[in-house]
Amino acid sequence: MKVFLRELEVNDAEIAWEWRNDPEVWKLTGRKWNNHVTQKIEEDWIKKVKEEKDSVRFAICVGDEKEYVGNVQLTNIEKGSGIFHIFIRNKNYWGKGIGEKATKLLIDYTKANLELKAIKLLVRINNKAAIKIYEKVGFCVENIDNENISMIYKI
Domain-wise residue ranges, the chain: 3-154
Distance in angstroms (rounded) separating the CA atoms of residues 112 and 97? 23
pTM for the model? 0.89
Cα 54 from chain centroid (whole Å): 15
Maximal C-alpha separation, the chain: 42
The fourth-level CATH superfamily of domain 3-154 is: Gcn5-related N-acetyltransferase (GNAT) (3.40.630.30)
Mind listing the pLDDT tens digit for each residue in 104-134?
999 999 999 999 999 999 999 988 989 999 9
- Across the range 72-90, mean pLDDT stands at 93
Q: Please check the confidence at residue 30 and state whether its pLDDT lies above 60.
A: no
Number of neighbouring beta carbons within 10 Å of residue 144: 11
Tens digit of each residue's pLDDT (9 = 90 or more) over 13-28: 998 888 777 776 666 6
SS3 at position 30:
coil
